[in-house]
């Protein structure tokens, strides 16, 4: 996305930012999933088994919250059909090649 960002900086900068946020959210969810798995596998051996299970529940809730936020961003990002997005990029590239600067309203379409 960053490669084609100069053809429509207004729209593509926002899309790039949303993708970065989505990646960060999913990365944190993955980290929490790993932590929860470690807590639960070590809980049987530890003297702090009850605390590990309680913490595992908190971690699971946080992990689910992060995944839901990432899903909301993904639904927004993938709302447009790939063919339609490709048509927009093709149009932006054509305008960019001709050095035409679209209006702000046209950039947002």
Q: What is the pTM of this model?
A: 0.72
Residues with Cβ within 8 Å of residue 3, at least 6 apart in sequence: none
Q: What is the reported pLDDT for 3?
A: 78
What span, in angstroms and rounded, lies between the C-alpha atoms of 104 and 102?
Answer: 6
pLDDT of residue 72: 94
Confidence at residue 109, expressed as pLDDT on a 0 to 100 scale = 56
Q: Give the pLDDT confidence score for residue 100 in this predicted structure.
A: 62
| pLDDT (tens place) for every residue of the chain, 109 residues total | 777 777 888 888 888 899 999 999 999 999 999 999 988 887 566 677 888 888 989 999 999 999 999 999 999 888 888 899 888 888 888 887 777 665 666 655 5
pLDDT at 108: 59
**Is the dihedral angle over the CA atoms 25, 29, 30, 32 positive or is it negative?**
positive
Distance of alpha carbon 27 from the chain centroid: 9
């Amino acid at each position: 996305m960053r490669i084609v960002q100069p053809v429509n900086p207004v729209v593509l900068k926002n899309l790039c930012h949303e993708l970065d946020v989505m990646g960060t959210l999913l990365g944190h969810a993955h980290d929490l999933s790993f932590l929860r798995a470690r807590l639960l596998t070590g809980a049987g051996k530890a003297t702090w088994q009850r605390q590990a299970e309680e913490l595992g529940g908190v971690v699971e809730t946080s992990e689910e919250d992060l995944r839901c936020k990432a899903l909301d961003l993904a639904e927004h990002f993938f709302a447009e059909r790939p063919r339609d997005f490709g048509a927009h990029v093709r149009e932006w590239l054509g305008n960019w090649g001709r050095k035409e600067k679209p209006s702000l309203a046209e950039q947002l379409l």
